[in-house]
Amino acid sequence: MASRLSVRLRATLAATAIVAVALGVAAAVLVGVLTGSLARSASNEAVRRADATAKVLAGGVAVTGKPADAVSLAKTALLDPDVKILTYPAPLVSDLSIQSPATAASPAGKSPGAVRDFQAQPAEVAQWAPGDTFALATMPVDAANGVLVVQARASLEPTGDALRALWGLLLPGIPALLLLVAVLTWLAVGRALAPVSAIRTEMADITAKDLHRRVPVPRSRDEIARLAETMNRTLDRLELAVSRHKRFVADAAHELRSPLAILRTRLELAPPGPLAAEALTDVERIQALTSDLLLLARLDAAEPVCHEEVDLGQVTAEEAARSRPRPEIRVTLEVAADTVVLGSAGQLRRLVANLVDNAVRHANSAVTVRLASDGGEAVLDVCDDGPGIPAEHHEAVFDRFTRLDEARDRDAGGSGLGLAIARDIAVRHGGSLRIAGEDRGACLQARFPVI
């Protein structure tokens, strides 16, 4: 599933997830540290209050020697509602396990954590009313007739308020920050990948006919720039190889024309005979193949098309009326007048000739050639009543040197280049060539923009 997502989306999700984890850990650590710090502060405050009261009590006992007077002195001197004093009789002193000073956090009204293992209730116990949570601290003070235990408290409510304020900031803040990270990452990755999109668009438009084009190289000297430079060097090598191939085909075809013409002339002047006739037929086929290869080389070289007004109706009528090897095939013309297109008359003539030759070669008895105008386009249909072309081969027949011998066994004169040349000519004239649907036989349809 992840492989189907774009790089931009995957990078955004990854960055957002990483930041989310980091923020979650940071928030947990922050809450933990703040809670501990505030709890320690409250405990320290309770210890401070207990210690201050214990010092006052110790001073009073030292002066009077009477615990009651010390208690009265403490109450009069402090008047602190968060400090309580518990008195224990002398016989119980040995039963006390006192830590001084000590702190504990417990709900108000619970027994102080610094006084444990009581065997009897104290002589005087001051209870706080149940309420909020407090940090408690106890501290013993020796008296003449017993032990005084100072119990002080510090409220933890400020800790709760601080934590609630922190959560109130984190709960909306973290999602907002993640959204901001996602948006910024999306924009940053999109900007970083913009050169890749430009390279992809340019590469998608480059074909064998325009290998001179190059992909744009971004100004940044990063991996994408090096990728673009590598692709351009690859295109350089590919253009060189293709140009050499085209030059070889053109040179070979051109060099073959002169000796073939001389050989044909000699065969035509030779005494008539079966061998001479067969040789002349073979030479004619070789000449046609050479001519096709030379034309393909020119088409592949992307030579500029001669833009002149061509009466496609006249060209179609002339080529359809030309004699062909199978005179028994009836060729019917349905040509609309004044169908003018812009292009090369020679190449358009070759297109019509190839389509009609192909139809005559595979027809059973008749070929229909129709030319009409349809919505600003010239539509040329060349149909035959032969075996037709299977649907799975509708595109393959336009490949070079393709012959469907198993389905069209009457094909004895084609080289497999006629339809490929016809489509190349149609495309170079801004048109198209395809196989149209017919109930019987094959129908090839070419479209051209009209003037």
The model's confidence at residue 83, banded by pLDDT at 50, 70 and 90, is confident
Asked if residue 444 lies in contact with residue 391, where contact means CB atoms within 8 angstroms, the answer is no
The model's confidence at residue 114, banded by pLDDT at 50, 70 and 90, is very low
The dihedrals phi and psi of 217, each to the nearest 5 degrees, come to -100, 120
Asked which of 47-61, 154-168, 200-214, 355-369 is least confident by mean pLDDT, the reply is 47-61
pLDDT of residue 144: 59
* Number of independent structural domains in the chain: 3
- Write down the pTM of the prediction: 0.52
Domain extent for 92: 2-159
Say whether pLDDT at 98 is over 60: no
Asked if residue 130 lies in contact with residue 95, where contact means CB atoms within 8 angstroms, the answer is no
Q: Which of 111, 140, 159 is the last residue of a domain?
A: 159
Query: Of 423, 370, 427, which is closest to residue 395 (Cα–Cα)?
Result: 423
CA-to-CA dists, residue 407 to 70, 389, 410, angstroms: 123, 8, 9
Note if the bond before 67 is cis, omega within 30 degrees. no
More confident residue, 122 or 371: 371
Q: Which of 246, 278, 298 is the last residue of a domain?
A: 298
Say whether pLDDT at 18 is over 70: yes
Say whether pLDDT at 7 is over 80: yes
CATH number of the domain within which 406 lies: 3.30.565.10
More confident residue, 419 or 297: 419
pLDDT of residue 432: 94
- Whether 351 and 443 share a structural domain: yes
Say whether pLDDT at 240 is over 70: yes
The radius of gyration computed from the CA coordinates of the chain, to the nearest angstrom, equals: 51
- Whether 352 and 434 share a structural domain: yes
The model's confidence at residue 84, banded by pLDDT at 50, 70 and 90, is confident
pLDDT of residue 131: 44
The model's confidence at residue 128, banded by pLDDT at 50, 70 and 90, is low
pLDDT of residue 125: 37
- Six token digits for residue 217: 């190289």
More confident residue, 291 or 217: 217
Say whether pLDDT at 21 is over 90: yes
The model's confidence at residue 412, banded by pLDDT at 50, 70 and 90, is low
- Give the DSSP letter string of 33-48: HHHHHHHHHHHHHHHH
Residue 257 and residue 317: Cα distance in Å, rounded?
29
The dihedrals phi and psi of 446, each to the nearest 5 degrees, come to -110, 140
Using DSSP, how many helices (H) and how many strands (E) does the chain show? 8, 13
Query: What residues contact residue 170 under an 8 Å CB cut-off, 6+ apart?
Result: 27
In-domain check, residue 199: no
The model's confidence at residue 311, banded by pLDDT at 50, 70 and 90, is very high
Instruction: Show the beta-strand stretches assigned E in 261-399.
Output: 308-311, 330-335, 340-343, 366-373, 377-384
The dihedrals phi and psi of 370, each to the nearest 5 degrees, come to -120, 140
Note if the bond before 101 is cis, omega within 30 degrees. yes
Q: Which of 279, 298, 317 is the last residue of a domain?
A: 298
The dihedrals phi and psi of 385, each to the nearest 5 degrees, come to -105, 30
